[in-house]
A and B are shown apart, each in its own frame.
Chain A
């Protein structure tokens, strides 16, 4: 099983600041990695797929990078609606796995 380790667990930032979230895979997932955003009481929403491609309707302040085992999600300037939990997810191997999540909270 591919283990995805996200860091940090919590990111405390102010609106307008830049957020950088990390996801490290226990073995290569090539570029088969996605990022999801989840707000309380809601289902996850796809933000980024194949490591760097934005999903439909996702603002360009969200960007993804990386390949192999190291990936990054950047939010260039945090908007109030961006404070949420973010999960990385790999579809390279079975079983599919998710990272444990990074909570982006208001400082």
Chain B
């Protein structure tokens, strides 16, 4: 069974940093592109970042570029998101989402981890 389990969320002060993790299981992680997608409370979905299967290609939303860094460790079947200079606008549930190799859309999502930026 494919599983994506996020962790690392919590309460952080404005200007602070946080590192999210996503542990993958039930599939060969190294063969898949993965993303971070977030959802502010009561709001819609916002794509945050993408990383290719090898880590050689990376993209970011303009809203996080220069502050967030996506990475992966294929040996550990894990995805990461280093978030720096956090602001209230970054408060959201953060999901990791796998891209299907066949159809190239998000086919599996984690349950999400909540990041709250507040003093």
**Is the CB–CB distance between A55 and B107 below 8 Å?**
yes
Majority secondary structure, A binding face: loop
A31-44 to B contact mask, C-beta < 8 Å, 1/0? 00010101000011
A79-103 to B contact mask, C-beta < 8 Å, 1/0? 0000000010101001111111100
Known: A43-B111, A44-B45. A95 touches B106 (CB 8 A): no
**Is the CB–CB distance between A1 and B44 below 8 Å?**
no
**Is the CB–CB distance between A98 and B47 below 8 Å?**
yes
- Chain B residues whose CB sits within 8 angstroms of the CB of A53 once the complex forms: 103
A sample of 26 cross-chain residue pairs with beta-carbon separation below 8 angstroms, ordered by A number, consists of: A1-B62, A34-B106, A36-B45, A36-B106, A38-B45, A43-B110, A43-B111, A43-B112, A44-B95, A44-B106, A44-B109, A46-B107, A49-B103, A49-B105, A50-B103, A87-B44, A89-B45, A91-B104, A91-B105, A94-B50, A95-B47, A95-B61, A95-B62, A96-B47, A96-B50, A98-B45
Binding site for B on A (CB under 8 A): 1, 34, 36, 38, 43-44, 46, 49-50, 53, 55, 87, 89, 91, 94-101
